[in-house]
Amino acid sequence: MTYKTGRSGMLSRTAVRRTAAAVATAALAGTALAACGTQHGGAAASGADDARASSRAPSSAASGEASGPAAGIPSQRTSPPGDPSGSQPSGPGPGQNGPAPTGPAQTGPVPTDPSGTVPSQTVPGQPTGPLDPSAGPADPSGSPATGAPAGESIQHSTEDGGRSVALTFDDGPDPRWTPQVLALLAAHHAKATFCEIGPNAAAHPDLVRQITTAGHRLCDHSVHHNERQSSRSAAYNTHEIVDAQREITKAAGAGAKLWYYRAPGGDFTPTIRHIAAGHGLRPLGWTVDSRDWERPGTAKVLANIDRQLRPGSIVLMHDGGGDRAQTVRALSRLLDRLDAQGWTYSFPAR
């Protein structure tokens, strides 16, 4: 290197100082570059040199060099929601505005309770489990018969069990409707129980005998069909049960048997059940109310039965007490359905 000199041919003091500073600076720069090259594999990155290097260097894809972080160091990149890479945002990074997200929007299904089950939607007062097809409802009058002595509880099931049904007909016999019911039952080889009003039986003993001759059973249904007989005295209830029993038995002839007692409207009490059982009659309820007595139309009668029918059901219908044309039509269709679906016909259990 050549340095200019002063007029005396000696280096000026200013030049000496500048030269020393330049040498020191060069030495320091060389040391720093060497250290940087050792740490990062010789890749220098500083100011304008970086700019020039980048314009000449091949892409990392072409050179086979990794452009990402060094191996073993996890990525700190954050991705916006929906990033195809699947990375989840870790909150705003430097220079981002707004608070960090606290969690995903609650747009999905209703959260479950800590046990992992959906909170109950049970309506108060409604059943919470499946119906037991073999179990009958409570006493139709609303008076439970649980705890009653054997033979005094209200019967709600068939004696055969399984996929059987017990058909019962109230308020007869009636000279117009009872023969039609009997003809339909005979055509389907079906058996039934007829719950008769005492005076009606006394007036039509021929119909009572047709019922027993065909193999059906008889049931006592009181003298006057008083649906509030439970409000009367024990003597009155004894008259309603025992005198009707006597009338029906006499109409049926020697050897006939009455099996049950059905209180009008299901108006049972412990006293009524006790009187009936004391005279050999099992209190009889029902589990399917066709409501044919309302005469709502044949289709509605069938719909009422279909909705309630279960294996072992006791079905309430009527062959007396008024116009039973809808009942006869509904019975014809019902018997066809029961036959097609493989039901069997039974009596109420004793």
Active site residues: 170, 318
Dihedral sign (CA 294, 299, 304, 309): positive
HSE, CB side, 13 Å, CA atoms: give it for residue 87. Answer: 11
Closest CA to 159 of 301, 284, 28: 284
**CA angle 298-328-253, nearest 5°?**
150
What single-letter amino acid sits at 275? Answer: I
Q: Each residue of 141-177: b (16+ CB within 10 Å) or e?
A: bebebeebeebbbbbbbbebeebbbbbbbbbbbbeeb
Q: Are 168 and 290 in contact (CB under 8 A)?
A: no
Closest CA to 264 of 298, 219, 301: 219
Tokens (6 digits) for 138: 């409570």
Within the chain, what is the greatest distance between any pair of CA atoms?
167
| DSSP letters spanning 217-234 | EEEE--SS--TTGGGS-H
Q: Are 192 and 219 in contact (CB under 8 A)?
A: no
> Is the link from the previous residue into 173 a cis peptide, with omega within 30 of 0?
yes
What is the distance between the alpha carbons of residues 196 and 52, in angstroms, rounded to a whole number?
115
Beta strands in 117-245 (DSSP E): 164-172, 192-196, 217-220
